């Protein structure tokens, strides 16, 4: 029985070596890995596509959305609107609070 177990392990080892060292199987494994990566990329691209389709829809049909985009990206203000700017980098010390 001991010899039978050793032969089984040797047989499994030889089969594993043949499968791993076979060029066709290595290419198959590489293609499977590449396919999985491409599927992940497809999912990401589909998500981006849905986002961009929604953005296009809102740009074409919603004037308020279009106005917000123009104001934010081009830093424009509406006619008659007053723009307030605050300097957020300055800090107030205790001495300045007393005066």
Structure tokens at 56: 């296009």
51-86 confidence digits (pLDDT tens): 999 999 999 999 999 888 888 888 888 888 888 888
86-95 confidence digits (pLDDT tens): 888 876 665 5
- Virtual torsion, Cα 41, 44, 50, 52, nearest 10 deg: -90
For 88, the 3-state DSSP assignment is coil
- What is the per-residue pLDDT for 95? 57
Q: How far apart are CA 35 and CA 37, in angstroms?
A: 5
Q: How far apart are CA 55 and CA 53, in angstroms?
A: 5
15-41 confidence digits (pLDDT tens): 888 877 778 888 888 999 999 999 999
- What is the value of pTM for the model shown? 0.55
- Virtual torsion, Cα 12, 15, 16, 18, nearest 10 deg: 160
């Amino acid at each position: 029985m001991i010899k039978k177990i050793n032969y089984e392990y040797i047989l499994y080892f030889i089969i594993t070596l043949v499968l791993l060292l076979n060029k066709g199987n290595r290419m198959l494994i590489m293609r499977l890995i590449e396919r999985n990566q491409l599927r992940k990329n497809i999912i990401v691209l589909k998500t981006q596509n849905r986002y961009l389709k929604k953005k296009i829809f809102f740009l074409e049909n919603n004037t308020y959305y279009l106005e917000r985009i123009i104001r934010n990206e081009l830093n424009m203000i509406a006619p008659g609107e007053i723009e307030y700017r605050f300097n957020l980098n300055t800090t107030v010390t205790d001495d300045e609070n007393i005066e």
